[in-house]
Amino acid sequence: MNLVFCLVSLLGAFLLFQVQPVISKFILPWFGGSPGVWTTCMLFFQVVLFGGYSYAHLLAKCRPRTQAWVHGCALLIAVLLLPIVPDVTLKPTGAEEPVTRILMLLALTVGFPYLVLSATSPLLQVWFSHLYPQRSPWRLYSLSNIGSLTALLSYPVLIEPRWDVVTQAQVWSGVFVAFVLLMAVCAFSNRTRPDEITPEGDPHPHAETHAVKPTWMRRALWLLLPGFASLLLLGTTNYVCQDVAVIPFLWVAPLSLYLISFIICFDHPRWYKRSAWALPAMALLFFGSAMYEFEHWSPDFVTELVVLLAAMFAACMVCHGELALLKPNTKYLTEYYLLMSAGGALGGLIVSIVAPLVFDTYLEWSLALIVGFALAAWAAFAGMPAVMRRRPWQVAWGLLALVGLIYLAKWEFTFDEKKELHRDFYGMLSISEYQDENTGETFRSFIHGSVKHGRQNMTLEHRRDPLTYYSHPSAIGRALDTLKTKPDARIGVIGMGAGTVACYAEKGQTYRFYEINPNAERLALKWFTFIPDMQARGGIYEPVIGDARLSLEHEKPQNFDVMLLDAFSGDSVPVHLLTREAFDLYLRHLKPDGIIAVHITNYSLNLAPVVERIAREIGLQSIRLANDKDEKGCYPTDYVLLTRNAAFIQANPPVVPANAHAIDVPLWTDHRHNLFQILDNR
């Protein structure tokens, strides 16, 4: 039975965390590929985890025989609700509020099986205490965290490249059935124990009768420490995803480190030494903020990722190490887990719901750095030898920590002046403005996260100049310049930004913009004149608010001469816009000699092989047109154009970037794609 308990603990935790990237990746395309999809999914999983721990806490108060039959029925119901493949009828139309829709979809698809899985760890430890009263159940908790970590690490390396998401969900459902059988064995092995729960609630006769009841302060720490660690985890994930891409690898890496900190801290007290972890945490949190302040050095993505994840890991070690030091007697085990899970849900609630409503920026990340530094400073001091905790050292250490906090606050709360800031489910939008010192010209920029997605020269004579990624020498500039003399041309633009491409519009031409975020359209019309100027010239502006894939699916063929795929989530086109099914949809709306221009300018992902592979599959020729000229107001660009237009192909021979790196990638479909394969491969 000892072996069975260990196996069930590992398998239950594996399933608990494997389902998170599986189901999140499944529904990610349905909600625009935003980082908010993952944080909302995490909120759901944390809340249901709290529900599972609450169920375990209440069930543990019942007699062993009752526990076995109640949980056996719950396991049976969970099996009857399989498989966990989301039904297409739950797919949104594009106009719904995303957070509520995601939570509802997850509840209907995976809610009850996940609830049953969530109760596994505390119930197993209670039953283990019944069967083996002289043994510590805490090792089972570390073992479950190892199962969770295995699930996360195996997903981007083994599971995601091997199977599509439908197969992943079906295999998960099959393994869940095996788990249910083993869990039932554990439950019914416990029912044969004597009904030995005392009126005081001891879980077995050998429980310590002198166990000290935890104070309310200790209970508060059981809630707040994991709550802060959860906030730090999700804040870090949001921060690293917003400027790269929303991919399982960038979900898994922070969550894996978070779990490793649990494993280390709860395996044995010897692993957590306050000063040994708190001092590095202080240094890493400080450098995580300071690295953006160097005048002549700017960290690349890999450096930034390593530093931020290391800082998060060290801070989580402090949180979970202190939490492990507060472990109660097994009499209060389920209450301990209950408050821990409530803390995790609280952190998720703050990042997913509260922060977007209260903050215009990712301010919760800045606050997490400061609070984490203060907590690490306290833990470091508490872990010092007694001789160093006397008053002179207290004053010196307090001053040192205060100086560090002042610098952190200075860096984190010093913002570039913005004309407007707005944050919502789809990220942070901002409008910035600067004046050229030499010419006196005013330039206004549209920014998503920290990535510029459009800029305009606000002087009257230059307002129509296409800047940033849309200059005349760029691929999209060449494609749109061929339509100058075609007054009835129709252009489809997926992703609005500042609306820069509207400056190419001539009288009678129609520019149809597909934009998922209504606030992006509002800011583009409020702060930039590209679209109003187009309308003044006689151009036709057609806005479509909602996810482009969903909108195009419900429209009649639009007969576009040019389609520009320019939607970005972070620094990459959302995956669901780069699949075979998506391009089949684009072809339905494209004229026979039309052009699909895919904007792949990117510093972290090698998207060209993905688009070129799709072009071969759908029978179009692809041309990669890079422009490495970094002119005033215009950036180097990289596009792949797909077309049957022989004249355009002949007039525009390919221009491949010097750093281009050809790799072989499988065909991307809605159910099978892997951004990890093209991460930083150039």
Q: Rounded to 5 degrees, what angle do the CA atoms 339, 220, 236 make?
A: 70
Most confident stretch, 193-207, 270-284, 653-667: 270-284
Of all residues in the chain, the percent with pLDDT exceeding 70 is 89
The pLDDT value given to residue 533: 95
* pLDDT at residue 197 in the model: 41
> Which pTM was predicted?
0.76
Residue 292, amino acid = Y
Rounded Cα distance between 539 and 511, Å, is 8
Query: Is the pLDDT score of 288 beyond 90?
Result: no
Q: Are 326 and 217 in contact (CB under 8 A)?
A: no
State residue 434 phi and psi, 5-degree precision. -145, 160
Q: Which pLDDT band holds residue 426 (cuts at 50, 70, 90)? A: confident
Q: Is the pLDDT of residue 193 over 70?
A: no
Which range scores top for mean pLDDT: 178-192, 247-261, 467-481? 467-481
User: Is the dihedral angle over the CA atoms 349, 352, 355, 357 positive or is it negative?
Assistant: negative
How many whole angstroms from its chain centre is CA 530?
32
Reduced to 3 DSSP states, what percent helix, strand and coil does the chain have, rounded to the nearest 5?
Answer: 60, 10, 30
Average pLDDT score over residue span 50-72: 87
Cβ–Cβ under 8 Å, residues 317 and 261 = yes
Q: Percentage of the chain surpassing pLDDT 90?
A: 30
Q: Do domains 1-199 and 427-678 have the same CATH topology?
A: no
Return the higher-pLDDT residue of 499 and 678.
499
Q: Average pLDDT for residues 393-402, to the nearest whole number?
A: 77
pLDDT band at 605 (very low <50, low <70, confident <90, very high): confident
Backbone phi, psi, residue 635, to 5°: -105, 160
Dihedral of CA 132/180/9/226: which sign?
negative
With residue 54 as reference, give the H or E element that holds it. helix 35-59
- Within 10 Å of residue 303's Cβ, how many Cβ atoms? 12
Beta strands 451-457 and 490-494: pairing type? unpaired
pLDDT of the residue at 247:
59
Beta pairing partners, 456: 444
Q: State the first-to-last Cα distance of the chain, in angstroms, to the nearest integer.
A: 52
Using the predicted structure, report yes or no on whether residue 207 has a pLDDT greater than 60. Answer: no
**CA–CA gap between residue 31 and residue 98 (Å, rounded):** 7
Residue indicated by tokens 């029925």 = 73
Name the strands in the sheet holding 540-545, side by side, starting at the edge strand that comes first in the sequence.
Answer: 540-545, 510-515, 490-494, 560-565, 590-599, 637-643, 621-627
Query: What gap in Å lies between CA 317 and CA 263, rounded to an integer?
Result: 10
pLDDT confidence bin for 201, thresholds 50/70/90: very low
Give residue 138's pLDDT: 67
Q: How confident is the model at residue 681 (pLDDT cuts 50, 70, 90)?
A: very low
pLDDT at 678: 73
Q: CB neighbours of 358 closer than 8 A, spacing ≥ 6?
A: none
Phi then psi for 601, rounded to 5 degrees? Answer: -55, 120
pLDDT mean across residues, the chain: 84
Cβ–Cβ under 8 Å, residues 119 and 57 = no
Q: Which amino acid is at 149?
A: L
pLDDT of residue 149: 84
pLDDT at 400: 82
User: Is the confidence at residue 115, as pLDDT, over 50?
Assistant: yes
| Mean of pLDDT values over 243-262 | 74
* Beta strands at 590-599 and 637-643: parallel, antiparallel or unpaired: antiparallel
- Cα separation values, 348 from 21, 211, 327, Å: 16, 33, 23
pLDDT of 267 higher than 60: yes
CATH 3.40.50.150 correct for 427-678: yes
* CB atoms closer than 10 angstroms to residue 402: 12
- Domains of the chain, residue spans: 1-199, 427-678
Q: How confident is the model at residue 443 (pLDDT cuts 50, 70, 90)?
A: very high
Does residue 469 carry a pLDDT above 50?
Answer: yes
Q: How confident is the model at residue 196 (pLDDT cuts 50, 70, 90)?
A: very low
Greater model confidence, 352 or 520: 520
The first and second tokens of residue 588, run together, are 């339905």
Would you say 202 and 318 are in contact if contact means Cβ atoms under 8 Å apart?
A: no
194-228 in b/e form (b: 16+ CB < 10 A) is eeebeeeebbbeebeeeeeebeeeebebbbbbbbb
The per-residue pLDDT for 205 is: 37
pLDDT band at 228 (very low <50, low <70, confident <90, very high): very high
Residues facing 572 on adjacent strands: 569
Q: Which residue has the higher pLDDT, 158 or 542?
A: 542
344-381 pLDDT tens trace: 889 888 888 888 888 877 788 888 888 999 999 988 88
What pLDDT is recorded for position 682? 43
State whether residue 21 is helix, strand or coil. Answer: helix
pLDDT at position 525: 94
Of the segments 28-42, 458-472, 659-673, which one has the largest average pLDDT value?
458-472
Q: Which amino acid is at 478?
A: R
CA angle (120, 347, 292) in 5-degree steps: 130
Q: How confident is the model at residue 211 (pLDDT cuts 50, 70, 90)?
A: low
The strand pairing partners of 446, in sequence order, are 431
DSSP 136-193: -THHHHHHHHHHHHHHHHHIIIIIHHHS-HHHHHHHHHHHHHHHHHHHHHHHHHHTTS
Length in residues, the chain: 682
* CA distances (Å), origin 494, targets 466, 509, 544: 17, 17, 10
What does the DSSP assignment read for 444-480? EEEEETTEEEEEEE-SGGGTT---BT--TTSHHHHHH
* Token representation of residue 2: 């000892």
Question: Which of the two residues, 393 and 656, has the higher pLDDT score?
Answer: 656
- Comparing 98-112, 169-183, 347-361, the range with the smallest average pLDDT is 347-361
Higher pLDDT, 507 or 636: 507
Which of the 8 DSSP states describes residue 273?
-
- As a whole number of angstroms, the distance between CA 131 and CA 142 comes to 19
Q: Considering the domain 1-199 in this protein, what is its CATH number?
A: 1.20.1250
* Closest by CA position to 454, among listed 496, 513, 498: 498
Does residue 160 carry a pLDDT above 60?
Answer: yes
Angstrom distance (rounded) from CA 237 to CA 364 = 12
- Give yes or no for residue 151 having a pLDDT over 90: no
Distance CA 473, CA 454 (A): 16
- Map 379-430 to HEC letters: HHHHCCCHHHHCHHHHHHHHHHHHHHHHHHHHHHCCCCCCCEEEEECCEEEE
pLDDT tens-digit series, residues 543-591? 999 888 888 988 999 999 999 998 876 555 677 888 899 999 999 999 9
Q: Which range has the worst mean pLDDT, 174-178, 194-198, 219-223, 579-583?
A: 194-198
